[in-house]
Every structure is written in C-alpha cells, then in structure tokens.
Structure 1
Amino acid sequence: MKLNKVTLAVGILLATAGGAAQAQAQPVQNIVLVHGAFVGGAGWRPVYDQLTHDGYNVTLVQEPLTSFSQDVAATRRVIEQQNGPVILVGHSYGGAIISEAGNDSKVTGLVYIAAHALDNGETEASNGKKYPNSAHPFIKSGDGYLTIAPEYYHSDFAADLPAAQADFEAHAQMPTNAAVFTANIPHPAWKSKPSWYMVAKADKIISPDLERMYARRARSHMVEIAGASHSVYQSHPDDVAKLIEQAAQNAQP
C-alpha cells in the first residue's frame, strides 16, 4: 500500500512537471514588426496577414526615421503595449533598431530579415565599406536626409516585385536621416537573446556576405532565399512568416 502511495505521488509529480513543460512550450503570441529605411510599415502587410491568420497578435512600428534614438523610442513604445513576451522583427535598418530595443525584458527572440545586426563600435556605414553593396548611391537632401533615386528603386531595392508596385514605392519613400546609419549600439541584444536570420541572396542594398557574417556571428538560425531582393519581406512573405513563427515557437520566456 505504501508503494502504491509512493507510485501515485511520483505520478502526480511527473504529471505536474509535464504540464509545466507543456505550458513553457507555448509559442510567444506577440509579434512586433519594424520596417527599415525609406519605407513604411505597410510593406509588412502580406507577412501580417499570414501571421494573424495563424493566430498571432501582430503590431507594426511606424518609426519616424528622423534619428536612431527616436526610432528606438517608437519601437519601445509598441513593445510596452504588448501583454506578454514579444518576438521582435526587423528588416534592413530595422535590424539596428531591434538590436537596441531588443534589450527590453519582454523581448524573448529577435528575427533579422536582410537586416543589420551591429556590434559595439560598428555602424552600417562602416560595415558597408567592408562589404560593399551593388546599389547606386543614395540621394541626399540639403538637410541631410537620404532617399533612393526613383529610377533605381526597382533594380536596387525591389527587383523581385512587380514594376508597377516598385514604381509606386519609389515615389512614396520616407526620407531617412543619414545620421541613423552611423548609430552605435553598445550592448546589442543578439548577444544575449536567441535570433533568427534571413539572407536575401540577390540583395543589392546590403551585401549578402555581410548578412551571412551577421547571422554567423550572432549564431542565428539562418535561412537563405534564392533570387530574393532587399524587399524579401514583401516578395517572400510565406518564408518570412515561417521563420518568424519558428522564432515564436522556440524562443521561450
């Protein structure tokens, strides 16, 4: 009889532990998407639609692109609004933003989509010199804001999008303060939190070799998308959503 009681107690303990493990294995439900330079959050729509269809709570950051500190502040504002753990996703310059904002305690994982994952002492500008891209030079306004020349937008930024869509985006750009590309991140979040990385193999804005370096250094779970331009988050939304969901399922609080 004593043996039966012990057996029962062990069984209850194992069941309790199993239940706790199952609870811990639940996916992170909150996804925050951060756009890059020159574009707004609307480009995330196909990814948003897939993630919300799959039951995730998705919020887009509309950072002003006026300074790195203000862009990080805009992202932190959205993170604060979430009701639990967060997967933070950044495209392009958005990767620099999530490397800083990702230090927030709510963030459990980072996803870089053809994005900069800078270390202390690095800038996008300096890394671009080490790993040159194949895009045309940006246009700079008199007050220090950058845009892509509309005639080069399709070939440089969005070669795998329909020409009409690329043409519209070329004329709907958000001018970006050049100073954001020289921001320093003393304590990048990828050093202490798990990350996932998507390399766009036909990217002309960020060298694919630089993207691979970022991913390997951060020990990210890396995937590469053949033929993908810098606009991979728009041209391959299913692949992007799949990678984000992998992060949500594996980056536990």
Structure 2
Amino acid sequence: MNTTSLRATLIASALIAGAAALPVQAAAQVQGKDSDTTVVLIHGAFADGSAWNKVIPLLQAKGLKVVSVQNPLTSLGDDVGAAQRVIDAQSGNVVLVGHSWGGTVITQAGVSDKVKALVYVAAFAPSEGQNSGELGKGYPVPAGIASIQADASGYLYLPAASVAANFAQDLPAADTKLMAATQGPIFGKAFEEKVTMAAWKSKPSYYIVAAKDRMIDPGLQQALAKKINAVTTTVQASHVPMLSQPKQVADVILAAAKR
C-alpha cells in the first residue's frame, strides 16, 4: 500500500471511530444536566399552558426537562387526572408547579412518589377536606373575583377589561388582549370540590406571593405560605408573576429542582 492510500485509510478509520463515539459523548452531556428532573407546570383558571411561555425557556436553558399541562378546567378530578398522566410519564423526579387554581391541583396530584417538591405561584393551597372557594373567607374580595361572569353552562370567565385591570395589570395591553381572547373558562363547581390529600404535608414546598395580586388576596397568599411551611418569595407583581417577572419565578423553581 502506498503512502497516499495508507493516509486515506487512517483518516477513514479515524472518522468512523469518532462517529461511533458521538452518541456516548452526547449521552454523557445530557446526564450531567439534571436529566432526572422534569418540571411539570400546571396553569390556573382563565388561562392555558401558554401562561408559562416566558418561564419555560429559562428552565430549559439550565438543562431541565419541562412539560406544561393543558388542564381541561372541567373539574378538580379532571385536572388532577391530566397532571397525573404527565407525572406518570416521566422517568425521574418531578418538580410540580401550580399557579392560582393550579395550586389546588398540585396539592392533590403532588402525592405521587415521583414528585420531590412543590412550587405554588400566587396559588391556592387547601388542606384535606377543603375546597378552593372557602379559602378566601375572612379576607377582602379581590376586584378580579368580583368581576367574574358565568355563561349559561356554568363556566366562569373574566371580561377583557378585568383581565387588563385585575388579572395582569402589569403587562402591556397587547398581551392582556391576547390573554382575554385565549383564556380557558373554568367550570364554576370545580371550586366546590374538596381535596382528599394534601401533598404539601410531606413534600418540600415553595410559595411565590404576588404582592399586587387582584385575584387572590396577598394576605391570604402569605397565610397559605405560612400554613404549608413553604420557602417564601414575595414579588411586586400581579396575579401572573410568571409572565411579568419570569426570572424570579424560574429562580424559585430552579431552587426546588436542586433539592
């Protein structure tokens, strides 16, 4: 074999060997980036899975897997079932995050052995035997709650003006118009359904209090955070801090993921 042929053979062999090693190297990189933890995000009433669109890229940039659940908003049982299906599909640990009504959902669904931590974002956190509707007793009725309307089938929705003034008053008008148009109405009786288990009793919990919330009274949020013994962060935000202050929300979720 002449020198040119020998050189070509060696180069080809090196390329083949390098190509064979690529999958191993890629796998090693993934394994080193929290590949065993998935963040499962649960949206609230009057919203859908896109409510987390500003937080998701921040979590993915840190190597976390993320799934945003689309709640049917037809009942507590249906929403818990949607969350459980996603939790069950994950191969490793789960950080379960709930916004608003989603806090009631994660309180029930979070008892799964796969869930290692809970994050409540301006959210309900009922005890066993409680429903979401009764949590606000003794607190002022927020302006956003007073504005809720119902259709002929008993589904609740927020008028566009209230989305802008009470739900997301710290977001641009273009954003609130889009949110109003795409909101997910919730069946009113869902707020009367009681949780039968409270995951926060046995799982590390975090709570983000939205100090300028006009949907869930900030005083109630502080009381709920204290009740569940949560690591608490307060942000000067409306009811949707994951949209107006996504970095602060992502930082709390990342802290939960590192447990």
Normalising by structure 2, we get a TM-score of 0.84
Alignment of 1:36-185 (within 5 A): 36-135=44-143, 136-185=146-195
- Cα deviation, residue 129, structure 1: 2.8
Alignment of 1:159-238 (within 5 A): 159-226=169-236, 228-238=237-247
Instruction: Give the Cα separation in 2 of the matches to 1:69 and 1:87.
Output: 20
Q: Could you report, residue by residue, the CA deviation over 1:163-204 in whole angstroms, capped at 9, with x for unpaired residues?
A: 111011112211110011112112200011110000000000
Q: Could you report, residue by residue, the CA deviation over 1:50-91 in whole angstroms, capped at 9, with x for unpaired residues?
A: 000111000111010011101000000000111101000000
Gaps of 5+ in 1: 1-25
Asked if the contact 2:35–2:65 (Cα under 8 Å) also holds between the matched residues in 1, the reply is: no
Percent identity of the aligned residues?
A: 40
- Cα deviation, residue 130, structure 1: 2.3
Instruction: Give the Cα separation in 2 of the matches to 1:27 and 1:122.
Output: 36
Instruction: Give the Cα separation in 1 of the matches to 2:116 and 2:139.
Output: 30
Q: Could you report, residue by residue, the CA deviation over 1:84-133 in whole angstroms, capped at 9, with x for unpaired residues?
A: 01000000000000000000110010000000010123222112232233
Corresponding letter in the other structure for 1:126: E
Instruction: Give the Cα separation in 1 of the matches to 2:159 and 2:175.
Output: 15
Residues 1:246 and 2:232 are matched in the alignment: no
Instruction: Give the Cα separation in 2 of the matches to 1:131 and 1:83.
Output: 41
Higher mean C-alpha deviation, range 90-99 or range 171-180: 171-180
The higher-RCO structure (CA 8 Å, 6+ apart) is: 1
Judged with a 3 Å threshold, the aligned counterparts in structure 2 of structure 1 residues 172 and 188 are, in CA distance, closer, same or farther, namely: same
The structure 1 segments of at least 4 consecutive aligned residues displaced by more than 4 Å after TM superposition are none
Asked if the contact 2:35–2:63 (Cα under 8 Å) also holds between the matched residues in 1, the reply is: no
Instruction: Give the Cα separation in 2 of the matches to 1:96 and 1:122.
Output: 10
Q: Could you report, residue by residue, the CA deviation over 1:119-162 in whole angstroms, capped at 9, with x for unpaired residues?
A: 12322211223223322331011111000111211111001111
Instruction: Give the Cα separation in 2 of the matches to 1:131 and 1:28.
Output: 41
Q: Give the greater-gyration-radius structure (CA).
A: 2
Instruction: Give the Cα separation in 1 of the matches to 2:160 and 2:186.
Output: 15
Q: Could you report, residue by residue, the CA deviation over 1:1-55 in whole angstroms, capped at 9, with x for unpaired residues?
A: xxxxxxxxxxxxxxxxxxxxxxxxx796211000000100112011000000111
- Paired residues, what number? 224
